[in-house]
Chains A and B, each alone.
Chain A
């Protein structure tokens, strides 16, 4: 009797959560694929299968090709910067010192404050007329007052700006993950190596970095996903402009599917996010599986 009830208790306790998640993640996930091969528009209820027509139209669109390229540029360059910055920052933060808690709080601000709000702060810092950066540049005679850089108005500078602001936002997240890795390295191994005469850099490159690799994996995998699929910084700073030069896949899906009302084509654009998601999920499962065996 008890065991019979027990058998039902488990599913009864976890099924509601699973159903909720399936209804609001699983169902729309499948719908995204159906939309991308259909003709759904805002305001019409019918659905006809149109095959790969949306994908063909998207692939002929030069803006889409630019967005695809930008997405990779945005993700790879910000993740490289994040990884370098986070390792340096973790190195100086890992040991206890006076004022560490306050400094840690200040350093974490870009991650713990809402990113849309941090970005609007940057919009003011990068303002075309009142940019404080430009004020400093002019003051030190590095640029002339009327030829100061338009950070968000010129295609190349705008791309650099959104990459740097996104790096600013993600850096603390990776730093904290890497710090967690540092505290998990047994202290006696590097110490024993030091006693045996290994110098700082030798210890760093031959012992500590190899031991840190799994945790850096975690930081990079999550960082890449959160960057590749995000549009907040770009939406707020440039709205994909000037002339769609900072458009990425998520922002383009938003402008096409939500604002433009072409649900089918928007869905087709966002489907291009899926391969990277699958790759990352597979890499994570592999890591998880390996640690289960070990």
Chain B
């Protein structure tokens, strides 16, 4: 009797577990399913209110994708984003890797303080800085070019990357460099020849994050770049793919899907490390 009761309760618990999961999953992933189905529906099917919107009432079409790749600036925006991402990654690595190493190893107690200070700048939002930055960008002669965001983005990728890498370098035993220095290498040589090669996974995390942060950024790109041709994909798709008041929903949703899935997959692979950057100190 009791065993039956226990089993029923466990079964009930299991069902509740799956119901909660299914509900959340549906709510959270639905827009992406909706992008997918919209991308392949014929225009007539999309705008006929009598049709059931959840299924294909007419045969699927590649017309929206064709329009997107042939007749819009979409490919250009993808290219711009990739280029900006690449340059920002280089700037970030060149500045953040040595900084993180120095703060983790060479500066003692106050290195940690500078580290926390750098991390706190990550909290200063674009919406506070964009007005003065728009003047600085103009002063540098970069307004309405892709270079405007390339110069500005490291201001938030460097703080976060330095913070992540500091934690990473601290986990490497200091004896490693000490031994190498006894063998005649200088500190800087030890950093270049020993520490960097064994830190590849930490550096790769920073590369991925810098790249995803760049492709997700919206406010700065919207503020500094005013011609469609120079935009990144995050602003180009939601702002410039809309021509006047006409929304080409099929192509628009196709663009959303193509632009977000690769970024989402990459980000997902490294998410736990990103989160570790936020939770330092509160999780042991």
| Partner-B contacts on A (CB < 8 A) | 2, 5-6, 9-14, 16-18, 20-21, 24-29, 31-32, 35, 40, 85, 88-89, 92-93, 103-110, 112-122, 124-125, 127, 129-130, 132, 135, 145, 168, 171-172, 176-177, 180-181, 184, 214-215, 217-218, 222, 225, 229-232, 235-236, 249-250, 253-254, 257-258, 263, 266-267, 270-271, 273-274, 277, 280-281, 284-285, 287-288, 291-292
By a CB distance below 8 angstroms, the chain A residues around B271 are 108, 112, 176
Q: Does B197 contact A (CB under 8 A)?
A: no
CB contact between B32 and one of A88, A113, A281 (< 8 Å): that residue: A113
Given contacts A18-B118, A118-B31, contact A132 B53 (CB under 8 A): yes
Who on chain A is nearest to B138 by CB? Answer: A42
By a CB distance below 8 angstroms, the chain A residues around B38 are 124
Q: Given A20-B155, A109-B28, A225-B123, 13 other A-B contacts at CB below 8 A?
A: A14-B107, A25-B129, A40-B135, A89-B24, A106-B28, A108-B268, A109-B32, A110-B28, A110-B31, A117-B259, A171-B28, A180-B276, A258-B134
CB contact between B102 and one of A14, A103, A257 (< 8 Å): that residue: A14
Q: Give, as a whole number of angstroms, the nearest-CB distance from A71 to chain B.
A: 11
Q: Give, as a whole number of angstroms, the nearest-CB distance from A3 to chain B.
A: 10
Asked if A114 and B276 make an inter-chain contact with CB atoms under 8 angstroms apart, the answer reads: no
Q: How far is the CA of A8 from the CA of B114 in the complex (A)?
A: 16
Q: Give, as a whole number of angstroms, the nearest-CB distance from A61 to chain B.
A: 17
B103-134 residues with Cβ-Cβ distance < 8 A to A are 103, 106-107, 111, 114, 116, 118, 120-121, 123-134
By a CB distance below 8 angstroms, the chain B residues around A40 are 135
Asked if B99 and A114 make an inter-chain contact with CB atoms under 8 angstroms apart, the answer reads: no
Q: Give, as a whole number of angstroms, the nearest-CB distance from A119 to chain B.
A: 7
By a CB distance below 8 angstroms, the chain B residues around A120 are 237-238, 252, 256
By a CB distance below 8 angstroms, the chain B residues around A125 are 30-31, 34
Q: Does B218 contact A (CB under 8 A)?
A: yes
B: number of interface residues (CB 8 Å): 97
By a CB distance below 8 angstroms, the chain A residues around B32 are 109, 113, 121
Who on chain A is nearest to B159 by CB? Answer: A21
Q: How far is the CA of A125 from the CA of B279 in the complex (A)?
A: 34
By a CB distance below 8 angstroms, the chain A residues around B158 are 17, 20-21
Who on chain B is nearest to A214 by CB? Answer: B282
| Partner-A contacts on B (CB < 8 A) | 17, 20-21, 24-25, 27-32, 34-35, 38, 46-47, 49, 53-54, 95-96, 98-99, 101-103, 106-107, 111, 114, 116, 118, 120-121, 123-136, 151-152, 154-156, 158-159, 162, 186-188, 212, 215-216, 218-219, 222-223, 233-235, 237-239, 247, 249, 252-253, 255-256, 259-261, 263-265, 267-268, 271-272, 275-276, 278-284
Who on chain B is nearest to A253 by CB? Answer: B127
Q: How far is the CA of A266 from the CA of B135 in the complex (A)?
A: 13
Q: Which of B129, B247, B255 has the most CB of A within 10 A?
A: B129
Asked if A267 and B132 make an inter-chain contact with CB atoms under 8 angstroms apart, the answer reads: yes
Q: Give, as a whole number of angstroms, the nearest-CB distance from A128 to chain B.
A: 11
CB contact between A24 and one of B133, B216, B261, B264 (< 8 Å): that residue: B133
By a CB distance below 8 angstroms, the chain A residues around B126 are 229
Q: How far is the CA of A244 from the CA of B32 in the complex (A)?
A: 29
By a CB distance below 8 angstroms, the chain B residues around A132 are 34, 53-54
Q: Give, as a whole number of angstroms, the nearest-CB distance from A2 to chain B.
A: 8
By a CB distance below 8 angstroms, the chain B residues around A29 are 124, 128-129, 132
Asked if B95 and A17 make an inter-chain contact with CB atoms under 8 angstroms apart, the answer reads: yes
Asked if A254 and B155 make an inter-chain contact with CB atoms under 8 angstroms apart, the answer reads: no
Q: How far is the CA of A29 from the CA of B212 in the complex (A)?
A: 25
Who on chain A is nearest to B156 by CB? Answer: A25
Who on chain A is nearest to B124 by CB? Answer: A25
CB contact between A124 and one of B234, B253, B280 (< 8 Å): that residue: B253
Given contacts A106-B28, A115-B218, contact A32 B132 (CB under 8 A): yes
CB contact between A254 and one of B223, B259, B280 (< 8 Å): that residue: B223
CB contact between B125 and one of A177, A230, A267 (< 8 Å): that residue: A230
Given contacts A168-B27, A229-B127, A235-B222, contact A114 B118 (CB under 8 A): no
Given contacts A120-B252, A125-B31, A214-B282, contact A114 B127 (CB under 8 A): no
* 21 intermolecular pairs with C-beta atoms under 8 Å apart: A18-B118, A25-B121, A28-B136, A92-B24, A105-B265, A107-B24, A109-B260, A112-B264, A114-B259, A116-B235, A118-B256, A121-B34, A180-B275, A181-B283, A218-B282, A225-B123, A257-B130, A267-B132, A273-B128, A277-B123, A277-B124
Asked if B99 and A281 make an inter-chain contact with CB atoms under 8 angstroms apart, the answer reads: no
